[in-house]
Amino acid sequence: MSSQNIKPTESELEILRILWERGPSTVREVHEQLVKTKESGYTTTLKLMQIMYEKGLVKRDDTNRSHIYEAGVSQEKTRKMMTDKLIRTLFQGSSSKLVMQALGHHKVSKEELAAIRKYLEEMEKSGK
């Protein structure tokens, strides 16, 4: 099964976020990061990463005693896939409804608003 067709679970996304941030890591290193934000046993982390390997979400270098895992999918492609699915399923294909929902229900800093304005201006100039 191609990793392009996989929708990571919330737990898998947590592990991917750690790997995207840290780069290649052992299960122990990933687990040490995970337990900072949630209760999880080492064997649970190990099993989840083994499942992720089978799904193609992570790659594994097993040339050493401690296996080294790295993300098998890019953060950008994962965000795009999940956002596209969210827009299709929850917002009836409307990107603007998603943006309005996000801006209307979350505190947005002045810096974020400025970045959004700049992005919108660039989109208008380029005709997107």
pLDDT digits (tens, 9 = 90+) for 12-28: 999 999 999 999 999 99
pLDDT of residue 128: 66
Residue 5 has pLDDT above 80, yes or no: no
pTM of the shown model: 0.77
> Has residue 34 got a pLDDT over 80?
yes
Domain with CATH 1.10.10.10 in the chain: 3-71
Query: How wide is the angle at C-alpha 123 spanned by C-alphas 77 and 100, nearest 5°?
Result: 75
Residue 108's pLDDT is: 86
Contacts of 16 (CB under 8 A, 6+ apart): 8, 52, 57, 58, 71, 73, 75, 78
Is domain 3-71 in CATH 2.40.10.350, yes or no? no
Q: Chain centroid to CA 68: how far?
A: 19
Q: Does 122 score more than 60 pLDDT?
A: yes
